[in-house]
Structure 1
Amino acid sequence: MKSNRKDQFVFFGSRFLTCAAVVSFSAVGAYAKVAAPLTIWAKADVSYDQFNAEALECGMQGLAVNIDNTEEVKALAQASKQLEAIDASAQAALGRDAGQMGDTQAGAGSIRVHNGLDIAARQAADQQAVIAATRPEEQYAGIKKKMFTVVRKCMLDRGYAKIVLTADQRNEYSSMKGGADARRNYIHQLASDPQVLETQRETPAP
């Protein structure tokens, strides 16, 4: 009766979240059909190679952030332990139930099935309570924010600024033929254009 729900809290996997950082700069999966980004990093007249190298460097800095002692990771780790304990308790209850009645007893099989369903229902309810209390989506969002803060500082330190793509630019990106290479070239074309940077620079939040 092992539950896959606890896998949601294996927090080491959360590092994959910042792979999206590199996508925001220039890289797009070769086989994935992705929507156009709303914003991208830009620097006037930056070369294609430099653009990709600096995007990758900053993305790797984000991935290297030590999140092990953050409150988000602690919450996810604690939830993982709680889910393991719930699984262990359910297994123990099933074992006790099986040991207390023999197959020779009249109706023993149907009673075991009924008790097993009760145990499974309690297990599911307890698991859902842990998940609801932990709010894993919020915890992962917090981890992602910490990583992206590092990525953002890295890009700003290298002279980049965010630009907002227009609807036409996003449509062209989404409908573009030629796969990932064509999309990367198009993003670089926009990101390196001084005029685009001048007219589409993202307005900083107040």
Structure 2
Amino acid sequence: MRAVHCLFLLPLLAPQVALAAKPPMLSWGKPGVTLATYRDDAVACGREGYYLDVSNTEAAKVFKDASKQLENNENNLGVSAMTGDVNRMMGVAVDSARIVERTQPARRMKQVRTLLQDTVAACLRARGYRQFRLSDAQQRQLRAFRLGSPERHAYLHALASDPAILAAQQL
């Protein structure tokens, strides 16, 4: 009976669980940094991440191998279609699904994303920046600005250069 009650409560609790699991919004700051330097450093560190060569990572190697296997399967599918071998066509489709499943694309992309983020973070740390958590009010205010707008950049800079905010909200 207890399990039945829990099942009825799940839909009620799901929104609270989803809200509670929302990660905090983080940014990088440096006390007293000028807006020009803040922007220059962000662009320079962003470029380090953007241009990072990930071709020799495990994820890239797995994707490359999977791509070759899928290409071979596609060729086999074409041959099977020409001969009308429906069973072989279904087998090739199943093989392709297994290749994708073994590749674990979401996990591999997360590995690459982490590597890129770590590269940017190391660059910012080397330039004297530290990470801080935005308060709920700051997050609401930030969302009021259009992505990429000068107002949004100015607002983030005001937070990121304020020594009091950095001291109170640093990670």
Aligned pairs for 1:113-132 (under 5 A) are: 115-116=85-86, 118-132=87-101
* 2:106 pairs with 1:137: yes
Aligned pairs for 1:97-176 (under 5 A) are: 97=84, 115-116=85-86, 118-176=87-145
Q: CA deviation at 1:192?
A: 0.8
Q: CA deviation at 1:124?
A: 2.9
How many equivalent residue pairs? 149
2:103 maps to amino acid: T
After superposition, the Cα gap between the structure-2 partners of 1:94 and 1:64, relative to the gap in structure 1 and judged at 3 Å, is: same
After superposition, the Cα gap between the structure-2 partners of 1:80 and 1:148, relative to the gap in structure 1 and judged at 3 Å, is: same
Match of 1:194 among 140, 154, 163: 163
Aligned equivalents of 2:148 and 2:55: distance in 1? 37
After superposition, the Cα gap between the structure-2 partners of 1:182 and 1:120, relative to the gap in structure 1 and judged at 3 Å, is: farther
Q: Is the 8 A contact 2:80 2:89 kept in 1?
A: no
Across the aligned residues of Structure 1 and Structure 2, the Cα RMSD in angstroms comes to 2.1
Which residue does the alignment assign to 2:32? 45
Match of 1:184 among 138, 147, 153: 153
Q: CA deviation at 1:126?
A: 1.8
Aligned equivalents of 1:190 and 1:76: distance in 2? 40
2:26 maps to amino acid: T
Q: Deviations over 1:25-57 (max 9, x none)?
A: xxxxxxxxxxxx700000011111110110110
Which residue does the alignment assign to 1:66? 53
TM-score (norm 1): 0.67
Q: Identity across aligned pairs (percent)?
A: 27
> Equivalent residue of 1:68, what SS?
coil
> Equivalent residue of 2:149, what SS?
helix
Q: CA deviation at 1:83?
A: 0.9
Q: Which has the higher helix share?
A: 2
> Equivalent residue of 2:131, what SS?
strand
Q: CA deviation at 1:197?
A: 0.6
TM-score (norm 2): 0.79
Q: CA deviation at 1:66?
A: 1.9
Q: Deviations over 1:72-114 (max 9, x none)?
A: 10001111111111111000111223xxxxxxxxxxxxxxxxx
Structure 2 unaligned blocks of 5 or more = 1-23
2:132 maps to amino acid: I
